[in-house]
Amino acid sequence: MPLSRLSSPFLSGVNRVTLHMLHLLLALVPAVIALVYFFGPSVLITIILAVVVAISAETIMLKLRNRPIKPFLLDGSAVVTAVLLAIALPPLAPWWLTTVGILFAIIFAKHLYGGLGYNPFNPAMIAYVLLLVSFPLEMTSWLPVVGLNAQALDFTSTFQVIFNGQLASGIDTISGATPLDAMKTQIGLSESPSLILQQSLFNGFAGQGWMWVNAWLTLGGLYLINRRVISWHIPTAMLAGLASISLVTWLVSPETTASPIFHLLSGGTMLGAFFIATDPVTAATTIKGRLVFGAGVGLLTYIIRIWGGYPDGIAFAVIIMNMLVPLIDYYTQPRVYGEVNK
């Protein structure tokens, strides 16, 4: 294939791509364990379902495109997409919601653009946005943290809810607001953030359960940076952008906005910073471009959280910045050695 037709990620061979994906999955293990601990076995069921559907869809699309199945199927990209989308979905998301999201991610967001390396948008996030816009009720019905005024669901009850939509006897409700959703709603009702944080959902900090999940995602992200699977530029710029704008608004109006710590440790912040925005296919490629890209994701995330119609804005922010990547790369190209500025 001519060099001019090659597309990112510029990784040498299938083995290098596979290793890249394996590192990503390994880095997600601590956060998945934390999610299971705080939300129950539904997280694992959703992940398994997503992976099975993703591998099946990948196999079918490779056959339809007359591409060799084994090397592409074993590169791990479909599994990573499945896991990233699965842990972003509500734990008790119905099976058809997970299936629709994965099929859209693999078929439309990946293969119809030409496969890995040619998709302009992050498949997991564009599928997440599709589900959020199309099925807002199912996408916002989150489980309360186990032990926080919530009855833990065993494996059998969880399986029944996901695949049959039936609640076990003695269980009245399974949905609850996320910390981001609760904070945004109550601020809109003129409640003070300092008082909101004293509620049991928050425990005076950033949301019970959620802050630990984000902490483990941070640890996984640092592992990826240490192994040079990702560079530090995008995560640092994104977190700095989010922290900076939230710090300014918090200092100006602490009674109407949450603190930077809350925004950093709630929702999908660390998942977005280390695992989503750093996608080598859809992110900026130049050094300066990565900093601009990351900062843009952080700023847009905050803007959507505060003034948008959704409690979290990671997916929308990443997709918007994906659209700007060609422009960012064009204007941040390093000067060619020996070239004289005009």
Could you read off the pLDDT of 14-73 as tens digits, one per residue? 468 889 999 999 999 999 999 999 888 899 999 999 999 999 999 999 999 988 887 777
Residue with tokens 């390994």: 26
Which tokens hold the place of 250? 């918090």
CB 175 within 8 A of CB 143: yes
Which tops the pLDDT comparison, 315 or 180?
A: 315
Could you read off the pLDDT of 258-287 as tens digits, one per residue? 999 999 999 899 999 999 999 999 999 999
CB 87 within 8 A of CB 101: no
Could you read off the pLDDT of 190-248 as tens digits, one per residue? 888 888 888 888 876 777 888 999 999 999 999 999 999 999 999 999 999 999 999 99
pLDDT of residue 12: 45
Question: What are phi and psi for residue 121, nearest 5 degrees?
Answer: -120, 150
pLDDT confidence band for 156 (50 / 70 / 90): confident
User: Where do runs of H (alpha helix) occur along the chain?
Assistant: 13-39, 42-64, 69-73, 77-88, 95-103, 123-134, 136-139, 155-164, 179-188, 193-196, 210-226, 233-252, 260-265, 269-271, 287-307, 314-331
CB 255 within 8 A of CB 192: yes
With 70 as the cut, is the pLDDT of residue 94 above it? yes
With 90 as the cut, is the pLDDT of residue 292 above it? yes
With 90 as the cut, is the pLDDT of residue 162 above it? no
Q: What pTM value is reported for the model?
A: 0.89
Q: Where are the domains of the chain?
A: 7-176, 193-332
